[in-house]
Each structure stands twice: as structure tokens, then as C-alpha cells.
Amino acid sequence: MKHVCLLRHAKALPADSGDDDFARPLAEAGRIVATKVGRATSGQIPDLVLSSPALRTRETIDLVSQAWPRRPEIQFETALYLAEWDDILARLQQLPDEANDVWIVGHNPGLHELAIEFARYGGLPVLDNELGRHFPTGTRACFSFDIPDWRSLPSAKTRLSAFVTTR
């Protein structure tokens, strides 16, 4: 069994004209939400976290992991910054099979689109539920896959194990 949790970064400060999107920090509301996500998931520590290296994703995973009793391996990967869903999927398919529980911390629209693809493969009706409609900041969608290895993603043996939004 493999597990993937897709976590969209928490609320960031708005981009002002001319500001560097990559360097946008979390807003205070985002810091509060990331801390709450950490507390809510303290018993679900992944084997590996793959994250965009943008400041807002770094701050999100730092705050989330503070509530965990141990810090998992965290890899910041440039290719995950504003990545398309199929690029995120390709990265997951390259994971070592020893990692059974992986989190991806990143951005929309890639994370939302990947969540929809996973749900479709699992036979979930995505267009008429909350997952299909939106994926706001701080949202996490967790999936379980009854597969022997990561190369088998996506799979019809998919289950949505959690969908938690901040709204």
C-alpha cells in the first residue's frame, strides 16, 4: 500500500507588482493554518516530503513538521515549483519503493489537477463534490493506492482517505 498526501502551501502574502513570486512569505493567517495542519497530522508522519523550494512552501512544511514527534526526510525540488500535474505524477513514479507514505507540498493548479486525476482513476465522482470544485491554500488531499510500487501510479485501486480544506 502506498499513500500520497498533496498539501497546497498555506496562505501567502499577495504578490505586489514587481515582487518575486518565488519569495512570497506566508501571511499570518497562513502561519496559523500550517500550525493547525501540523497538529492535526502529528500521528501521520510521512516517510518523505517532496516540496517546492518557494518560500511559502518551505515555511508551510517547516510549521507543519514542528508538531510532529520526528522530522521526516524533506527534499526541496526546483521542478516542483508551479509544476503541472503530470510532472508531479512523473516524480512520484520515480520514488523508491521503500517510501510508502509521501507528501507533496506545492502549488495550484498542479496539485488540484493531480488530485482530480487520482480521484478519477479511483472512480470517485469529482465534478459534483468539494474536491472537484476547489483546492484552496492549506488544503490537503490524501490518497491510498493498493499498488506494489510507485511506477504503478495512477491506479484504479485508489481511495481518497482525507480531504481537508481550510474553508
- pLDDT tens for the chain, 167 residues long, are 999 999 999 999 988 755 688 999 999 999 999 999 999 998 889 999 999 999 999 999 999 999 999 999 999 999 999 999 999 999 999 999 999 999 999 999 999 999 999 988 877 766 556 676 788 999 999 999 999 999 999 877 888 888 888 76
CA distance 99 to 75: 13
Structural domains of the chain in order of their starting residue, each with its CATH number: 2-164 (3.40.50.1240)
- Whether omega for the bond prior to residue 109 falls within 30 degrees of 0, making it cis, is yes
Residue where the block lists cell 481511495:
159
Cell of 16: 505586489
Contact between residue 64 and residue 44 where contact means Cβ atoms under 8 Å apart: no
